Chain A
Amino acid sequence: MSAALLLEQLLNGLQLGVMLFLMAAGLTLIFGVMGLINLAHGSLYMVGAFACAMIASATGSFWIGLAASLVAAAAAGAIVEVLVIRRLYQRDHLDQVLATFALILIFSEGTRWLFGSFPLYLDIPPLLQGAVPLPGGGQYQLYRLAVIGVGVVVAAGLYLLISRTRLGMRIRAGESDREMIAALGVDISTLYTVVFALGAALAGLAGALVGALQSVQVGMGEPVLILAFVVIVIGGIGSIKGALFGAVLVGVVDTMGRFLLPQALSLMLPASQANLVGAALASMLIYIVMALILAIRPSGLFSAQS
């Protein structure tokens, strides 16, 4: 095993982590401010990917497609918030789970209706095609590096938004005291719509970015959604910092586990068996990590409540 290969896997893990962060940040923000668990977040990821693929193929420009993904996901988020989600803030978690589960069915089947069951493909834009040399002699896809860069920029942007701007101040106030913020004269229902649309836009962005690496298809958001749940459970629900930490942890542990476990086991087992057991164990690894973290800290590492 070469150092270059290891570095490549580490970068892959980081890239997965960045994607998860984009998803988890929205989820955790929506939970922190509105107290809502949103299963349909993966659908907004899918909306972003489809919008990007469709517009990119119509215009020939990935960048216009990317912009469209943000707009489409934010719009879909805002519409859903106004029509459905705002009726759920005062309901218990079971109702939220059910209603957003229903939204998944509607979004998934609706998308299948519009686009058919075949996956769409999205090309990596020419500007970001090609690879960069890694220290140690390997090569790494430029596009994946750019995705990591986007994640860093978004994390920094979110930090600035929440700590420095008026909207961020309202979000923080909304997290700590919903009645106070209403008393301050902030239009709370607009604030909630904005926060929901912001989370949706982040999910849509993630979907569009990943769309160029994988295929764009119905159901693509669900595995990511569940990983994002693991992320925010590990990080502490409501904490953006926790989401960032959890996302990178899950991304790296998952990727490195799939890479290293079969190799580590091959020291003890015959190669075919090592691959098999290693792959099976690796697929469970992050859940085991989650269980261990929760056994020690039941409300996550950066819980806002504790």
Chain B
Amino acid sequence: MTRETFANALLALLLLAVPIAASYMGEPFYVTLATRIAVLALAAVGLNIALGLGGLVSFGHAAFFGLGGYAAGVLATHAFNAEPLLFGIASTTSMPVIWLVAIVVCGLVALPIGAVSLRTAGVYFIMITLAFAQMIYYFAVSWPAYGGEDGLSIYVRNTFPGLNTAQPLPFFLICYVLLLLGLLLFRFLRDSRFGAALQAARQNATRLAAVGIPPFKIRLVAFAISAMVTGLAGALFADLNRFASPSMLSWHMSGELIVLIVLGGIGRQFGPVAGAMLFVLLEYVLGGITERWQFFLGLILLGVVLFARGGLIGLLAGRARHG
């Protein structure tokens, strides 16, 4: 077992054990905190596919996070009001269906956004993904049917067959299992032929093209998969807060997702998990000390960027290795 595998297993166990213990000690708040970590980590696992493996600095992943959230919110609202969706299809509060909708919607939106954005590179790509996310944000804010600026409340948490999702622990377990599946997907992608091509596109796109693999196509597929995973996390996040808010679509959210990854260790399988733990704990600990915790978050982030590039996983497990 390498040091990284050990560190990963430790993080995974920790994230599972703490909320279970908290639940038995009658401290549901910590279960919710752990759920928040799991969901944010899953969102960042999605972004890590584009950013970590593909080197695509998407500053617009909040778009997919928010779309996933709105998918959950819109379906729940229609189901709650017993209003059919388009073409008279009845809505649902079943989580698996909602997840599927969130994933499909995000994939379908990511393809055109990616197709335009990936024609460019570097700073242009950063700014364009940001701009597209803003476009969706403004659309959500100015379209009153689903709450506009006020967002969309989910009055009763959506359902999962056989589990009581209104209880903190079962809902945490759902999110935790999905996070593990997301991490597994990341690992498969990273080690597969697709992942080899994607990582080569980051290191040297000309080399990839010269062996006959078109970088654009590889990146576009990666961007879409990445968006779908982040969208799934968005649906969970809305259910966690029982609220789909435009702030999920905001560019601060996009920034935070990148921050999670960099805090944890970019391109590393468990980087997003470590990053989300660190982020949520900072939010909680600093937030308990001062209302201005983001000021200190800024300082810490600045320190990490300027002086500690490997992130937490880099600290725990040393530099990344490629077989």
| Whether chain A touches chain B in the assembled complex (some CB pair under 8 Å) | yes
Interface residues of A (CB under 8 A from B): 31, 37, 84, 87, 93-95, 97-99, 101-106, 108-110, 112-113, 222, 226, 229-230, 232-233, 237, 276, 279-280, 283-284, 287-288, 290-291, 294-295, 298-300
Nearest B residue to A112 via CB reads B292
Which 7 residue pairs spanning A and B have beta carbons closest together?
Answer: A105-B298, A109-B295, A287-B135, A106-B298, A283-B138, A102-B301, A102-B302
The interface centre, meaning the residue of B57, B297, B305 with most chain A CB atoms within 10 A of its CB, is B305
Assembled-state Cα–Cα distance A276/B143 (Å): 7
Assembled-state Cα–Cα distance A290/B119 (Å): 13
Nearest B residue to A84 via CB reads B302
Does B189 lie at the interface of the complex (its beta carbon under 8 Å from any beta carbon of A)? no
Stretch touching chain A among B3-11, B68-76, B124-132, B207-215: B124-132
Pick the residue among A101, A110, A113, A230 that contacts B301 (CB under 8 A). Answer: A101
Does B134 lie at the interface of the complex (its beta carbon under 8 Å from any beta carbon of A)? yes
- The smallest beta-carbon distance between A9 and chain B, in angstroms, is 18
Q: Which residues of B contact A298 (CB under 8 A)?
A: 119-120, 124
The interface centre, meaning the residue of A99, A105, A284 with most chain B CB atoms within 10 A of its CB, is A105
Cβ A93 vs Cβ B302 within 8 A: no
Q: Which residues of A contact B143 (CB under 8 A)?
A: 276, 280
Assembled-state Cα–Cα distance A222/B144 (Å): 23
- The smallest beta-carbon distance between A124 and chain B, in angstroms, is 28
Q: Which residues of B contact A37 (CB under 8 A)?
A: 123, 126-127
Does B80 lie at the interface of the complex (its beta carbon under 8 Å from any beta carbon of A)? no
Pick the residue among A101, A279, A299 that contacts B142 (CB under 8 A). Answer: A279
Cβ B294 vs Cβ A294 within 8 A: no
Q: Which residues of B contact A291 (CB under 8 A)?
A: 116, 132
Q: Which residues of B contact A294 (CB under 8 A)?
A: 116, 119-120, 124, 128
* Band of interface residues on B: 35 or more
- Answer whether A105 and B297 are a contact pair too, CB < 8 Å, given A95-B305, A99-B305: yes
Q: Which residues of A contact B127 (CB under 8 A)?
A: 37, 229-230, 232-233
Known: A99-B302, A283-B138, A287-B132. 11 other contacts (CB 8 A): A84-B302, A97-B126, A98-B262, A101-B301, A102-B302, A102-B305, A226-B130, A233-B124, A233-B131, A237-B123, A280-B142
- The smallest beta-carbon distance between A273 and chain B, in angstroms, is 11
Cβ A237 vs Cβ B130 within 8 A: no
Cβ A106 vs Cβ B299 within 8 A: yes
Nearest A residue to B59 via CB reads A97
Pick the residue among B57, B130, B131, B295 that contacts A105 (CB under 8 A). Answer: B295
Cβ A97 vs Cβ B142 within 8 A: no
Q: Which residues of A contact B119 (CB under 8 A)?
A: 294-295, 298
- The smallest beta-carbon distance between A218 and chain B, in angstroms, is 11
Cβ A99 vs Cβ B306 within 8 A: yes
Assembled-state Cα–Cα distance A95/B309 (Å): 9
> What is the number of contacts between chain A and chain B, taking CB atoms within 8 Å?
116
Cβ B306 vs Cβ A93 within 8 A: no
- Answer whether A84 and B306 are a contact pair too, CB < 8 Å, given A93-B122, A97-B258, A299-B120: yes
- Answer whether A93 and B251 are a contact pair too, CB < 8 Å, given A102-B302, A226-B134: no
The interface centre, meaning the residue of B120, B266, B309 with most chain A CB atoms within 10 A of its CB, is B120
Q: Which residues of B contact A232 (CB under 8 A)?
A: 127
- The smallest beta-carbon distance between B140 and chain A, in angstroms, is 9
Cβ B139 vs Cβ A283 within 8 A: yes
- The smallest beta-carbon distance between B51 and chain A, in angstroms, is 8
Q: Which residues of A contact B141 (CB under 8 A)?
A: 283
Does B255 lie at the interface of the complex (its beta carbon under 8 Å from any beta carbon of A)? yes
Cβ A103 vs Cβ B298 within 8 A: yes
Nearest A residue to B135 via CB reads A287
Pick the residue among A93, A98, A284 that contacts B305 (CB under 8 A). Answer: A98
Assembled-state Cα–Cα distance A229/B126 (Å): 10
Assembled-state Cα–Cα distance A4/B266 (Å): 56
